[in-house]
Amino acid sequence: MNYYDEIKSKLIDNEIYSRVKDYSKEKHKVITYFEIGRLLNEAGGKYGDNIIDEYSRKLVLEVGKKYNRRTLYRMRKFYEVFSNEKVSTLLSQLTWSHYLLLLSIKDYDEIIYYINISKNNNLTQRQLQDKIKNNEYQRIPIESRNKLNRNEILRPNDLIPNPIRIKNSNDHGNISEKVLQKLILEDIESFLEELGTGFTFIKSEYPIKLGDRYNYIDLLLYNIKYKCYVVVELKVTELKKEYTGQIMTYMNYIDENIKSLEENKTVGIIICKKDNKFVIRYCSDNRIIAREYVLV
């Protein structure tokens, strides 16, 4: 086989295809680059790694400047990563620009996670880059990662990262609950994206009447995907057992007075300065989770 001629032919075909088949050009590009990566891998096995240098010099002159050594190396790396059977079925789910961001990740489960959230949430290249940069997968609890790997049904709060990153626009030092709430509300869109899929904002300081007294939920959210209300309580101290009792009361109130029959039960998130795993471990309601926050 003449590897160079085969690679050149595929690249020229892709250039033509990209001009006349706009609706599917990205999928065609990804598959073409994967095939070229396979050919480069085979050619390297026969003729040595310097074959990429040789081919790139000729391709730059004969096809285009973008097919330089770096691009060919990435194609080969793309093949090496996605020839693994664990991720090969996801080959054409995203654009080439998305896949370039994933090539440095060594954990295949992590790659699968980022592909799925990118596809399901229509993430742009920049949004995916931010999630990788902020180590979103590494911040997901291990038990939730195991659920993903076993394809188990997830709860609305399973994929909420720990810690939760909250933007500190004014470089506040020691903060109160009111200041923490203010920081969240200043960039509520970023906060909802940090929580994960389907979260929408309803109201801060949401009033509920218990007997003859009003109480106020720090943040009331709704998750469209899971069709449930989400009560968020903010604490700037270590998690205490009385916090779970407080949020449980609020969740039960929402279930009894606000949610409709077709909606799922309310879940609760306690965002605190420091977690205490024993408090949640012995909490009687598994709808409640605790997450630490970090100001960034």
Q: Which domains does the chain have, with CATH numbers?
A: 3-139 (no CATH), 155-295 (3.40.1350.10)
List Cβ<8 Å contacts ≥24 apart for 113-122.
Answer: 113/137, 113/140, 113/145, 113/148, 115/87, 115/90, 116/90, 117/197, 118/93, 118/94, 119/93, 119/94, 120/197, 121/197
Distances in Å between the Cα of 101 and the Cα atoms of 5, 74, 106, 119, 126 are 29, 11, 12, 14, 10
Hunting for tokens 């903010």 — which residue is that? 234
What pLDDT was estimated at residue 22?
65
**How does 164-195 read in b/e, with b if 16+ C-beta sit within 10 Å?**
bbbebeeeeeebeeebbbebbeeeeeebbbbb
Residue 216, helix vs strand vs coil:
strand
Q: How far apart are CA 232 and CA 250, in angstroms?
A: 10
Cis peptide before 161 (omega within 30 of 0): no
pLDDT at 21: 61
DSSP 22: G
Note the Cα 155 to chain centre separation in Å.
16
pLDDT at position 272 is 97
The whole model's pTM is what? 0.87
Percentage of the chain exceeding pLDDT 70: 98
Residue 267, pLDDT score? 97
Q: Are strands 288-295 and 264-272 parallel, antiparallel or unpaired?
A: parallel
Torsion over CA: 67, 71, 73, 75 (sign): negative
Separation CA 130–CA 128 (nearest Å): 5
Sign of CA dihedral 60, 63, 65, 68: negative
Q: Which regions of the chain are under pLDDT 50?
A: none
Output the pLDDT for position 135.
96
266 touches 231 (CB < 8 A): yes
Amino acid at 274: K
Cα four-point dihedral sign 238, 240, 246, 248: positive
pLDDT of residue 19: 78
Q: Could you read off the pLDDT of 72-102 as tens digits, one per residue?
A: 999 999 999 999 999 999 998 999 999 999 9
